[in-house]
């Protein structure tokens, strides 16, 4: 890996460019869509003005992630990339630092000669099945390409002043990030591990991209947390008093029903994983050991280890206890009144109008809608019923449709269009067909 092209110009793209730029052997290009998107245009203008990108951190421990650096190339948009590259050196690595629902259209925009030269493509924030879609999309152009999936982006990075989108701050780092490749014993995974090790981010290698994609707890918990009456109303209509994503009802959405939906969704995803010959995920162990720890006193360790085989009602009880025990940060120092840090006071992001007056949906729940729709469709392709996914998606769709119908004067972005992401699903369908044919051929 030496010539790295990053697709996307948001905070994730900037932090990744910073990490890769620390190894001076890398030639780093970045491509946005400045000709069609105001956000990308602002970024492009700012970069032209300052000729530098900057990453800072909130926490001194994450100092290794900071940097001020210059890109080798910033392409205003994909046409620009395609034209300029005719006479220049090509890229061996493409990093998709955009939302998973944009992967297909980003690849479509890149000229075939560039795609043909790629050795690997890295998906930073995929859903279950994203690597299948990408591999299938490139099947004819570049059948040997290596597709690498991260379980999730390595931390939390944001722009802190929208007037200066070339400067971002990383406010937190994930303790566990998994990476998996379509190539066995991929040297590229080791290279990534070393690169991220230098900035104190630990990447764990797993056997396949599917395993990495499945080890993202937001796939299991976001749909129930955001696609319920309480959260959808708050996101679309606002609320009279502040309410919070991770609080118990009525301060937040968490009820016994939500916890029930979370457990059933988790089981549906596990069933799909089993059909794909991937190990299921112990949700409670994942939450407690990999997301946020709780105090030792909270759980019986036996229940954590054996969570998957406990009766449904016991599982729901344990999930409810888990959310209750992190309402406050159980490791914070209480004040004189015995109050601990209010860990669960995470506000909902609401819909908003962008600079052009177009209504936009926040990442949660829009990205969850895409991710869950893809997993639901994979279930259908495998002949697995997913009544909970169906219910959550239907509820989401009903709220969006009702909001559009009652606000006809507003100008809505494409995110408000309800769709079943047919083109993406068709690629996954073809991928399954190919795998099936290959299996039959191998067995002959
Ligand atoms: N930031 C974090 O801390 C964080 C944490 C966990 C996960 N993630 C995930 O990582 C991904 C990127 O995050 P981010 O914060 O950098 O998001 P962002 O600021 O929205 O940046 C996304 C980038 O993708 C581009 N893009 C979106 N749709 C596109 C399309 N159809 N064609 C071409 N380009 C497209 C955007 O272009 P425009 O600027 O023109 O819209 C932007 O450059 C998201 O999926 C996010 O959920 C981020």
Same domain? For 261 and 185 the reply is no
Q: Is 41 part of the annotated catalytic residue set?
A: no
**CA separation for the pair 291, 67 (Å, rounded):** 27
Q: Are residues 182 and 223 in the same domain?
A: no
- CATH no. for residue 83? 3.40.50.720
95 and 8 in a common domain: yes
- DSSP labels, 92-143: SEEEE-S-GGGHHHHHHHS-HHHHHH-SEEEESS--TTHHHHHHHHTTTT-T
Residue 72 and residue 21: Cα distance in Å, rounded? 10
- Residue 403 inside a domain? The answer is yes
Statement: residue 218 has pLDDT above 90: yes
Q: How high is the pLDDT of residue 214?
A: 98
Last residue of a domain, one of 184, 212, 240: 212
pLDDT tens figures, 132-156 = 999 999 999 999 999 999 999 999 9
Last residue in a domain, options 212, 239, 267: 212
Please check whether residues 325 and 355 belong to one and the same domain: yes
180 pLDDT tier (thresholds 50, 70, 90): very high
- CA of residue 260 to ligand 1 center, whole Å: 31
Full residue range of the structural domain in which residue 420 is found: 218-439
Gap between the Cα atoms of 15 and 53, Å rounded: 9
Average pLDDT over residues 184-191: 96
CA pair distance 270, 58, nearest whole angstrom: 36
Last residue of a domain, which of 191, 212, 233?
A: 212
Which protein residue's CA is at the shortest distance from atom 33 of ligand 1?
106
* Average of per-residue pLDDT values in the chain: 96
Domain count, the chain: 2
Tell me: the pLDDT tens digits for 79-120?
A: 999 997 765 668 999 999 999 999 999 999 999 999 999 999
What pLDDT does 86 receive? Answer: 65
The angle that helices 218-226 and 229-237 make with each other, rounded to 10 degrees, is 70
Does a structural domain hold residue 444? no
pLDDT at 90: 86
441 band by pLDDT with thresholds 50, 70 and 90: low
SS3 string, 282-305, reads: CHHHHHHHHHCCCCCCCCCHHHHH
Give residue 413 CA to ligand 1 midpoint distance, Å.
15
Q: What is the pLDDT of residue 84?
A: 79
What does the pLDDT look like over 346-389, one tens digit per residue? 999 999 999 899 999 999 999 999 999 999 999 999 999 999 99
Cβ–ligand 1 contact at 11 (below 6 Å)? yes
Q: Which residue has the tokens 């972005």?
A: 413
Judge if the beta carbon of residue 325 lies within 6 A of ligand 1. no
Same domain, 305 and 370: yes
pLDDT at 443: 57
Please identify which residue in the block is written with the tokens 């949906």: 361
pLDDT at 179 > cutoff 80: yes
Same domain, 225 and 151: no
Structure confidence at residue 357 (pLDDT): 95
């Amino acid at each position: 890996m030496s010539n790295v092209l990053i697709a996307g110009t948001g905070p994730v793209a900037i932090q990744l460019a910073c990490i890769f730029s620390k190894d001076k052997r890398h030639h780093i290009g970045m491509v946005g869509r400045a000709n069609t998107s105001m956000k990308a245009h602002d970024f492009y203008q700012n970069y032209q003005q300052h000729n530098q990108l900057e990453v800072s951190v909130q926490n001194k421990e994450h100092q290794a992630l900071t940097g001020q650096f210059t890109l080798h190339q910033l392409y205003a948009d994909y046409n620009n990339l395609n034209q300029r590259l005719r006479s220049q050196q090509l890229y061996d690595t493409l990093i998709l630092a955009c939302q998973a629902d944009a992967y297909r259209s980003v690849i479509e925009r890149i000229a075939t000669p560039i795609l043909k030269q790629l050795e690997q493509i890295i998906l930073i924030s995929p859903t279950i099945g994203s690597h299948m879609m990408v591999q299938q999309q490139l099947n004819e152009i570049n059948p040997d390409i290596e597709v690498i999936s991260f379980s999730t982006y390595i931390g939390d990075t944001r722009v802190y002043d929208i007037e200066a989108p070339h400067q971002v701050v990383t406010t937190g780092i994930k303790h566990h990030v998994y990476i998996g490749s379509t190539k066995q014993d991929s040297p590229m995974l080791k290279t990534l591990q070393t690169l991220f090790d230098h900035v104190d981010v630990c990447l764990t290698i797993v056997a396949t991209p599917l395993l990495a994609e499945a080890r993202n707890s937001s796939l299991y918990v976001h749909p129930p947390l955001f696609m319920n009456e309480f959260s959808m109303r708050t996101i679309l209509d606002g609320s009279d008093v502040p309410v919070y994503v991770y609080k118990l009802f009525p301060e937040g959405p968490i009820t016994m029903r939500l916890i029930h939906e979370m457990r059933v969704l988790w089981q549906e995803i596990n069933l799909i994983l089993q059909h794909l010959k991937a190990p299921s995920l112990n949700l409670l162990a994942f939450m407690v050991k990999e997301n946020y720890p709780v105090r030792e006193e909270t759980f019986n360790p036996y229940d954590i280890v054996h969570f998957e085989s406990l009766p449904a009602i016991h599982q729901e009880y344990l999930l409810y206890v888990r959310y209750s025990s992190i309402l406050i940060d159980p490791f914070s120092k209480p004040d004189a009144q015995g109050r601990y840090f209010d860990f669960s006071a995470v506000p909902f992001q609401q819909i908003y109008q962008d600079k052009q007056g177009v209504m936009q949906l926040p990442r949660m729940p829009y990205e969850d809608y895409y991710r869950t729709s893809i997993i639901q469709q994979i279930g259908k392709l495998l002949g697995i019923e997913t009544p909970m996914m169906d219910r959550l998606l239907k509820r989401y769709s009903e709220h969006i449709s009702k909001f559009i119908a009652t606000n006809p004067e507003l100008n809505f972005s494409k995110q408000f269009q309800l769709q079943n992401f047919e083109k993406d699903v068709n690629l996954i369908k073809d991928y399954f067909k190919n795998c099936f044919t290959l299996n039959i051929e191998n067995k002959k």
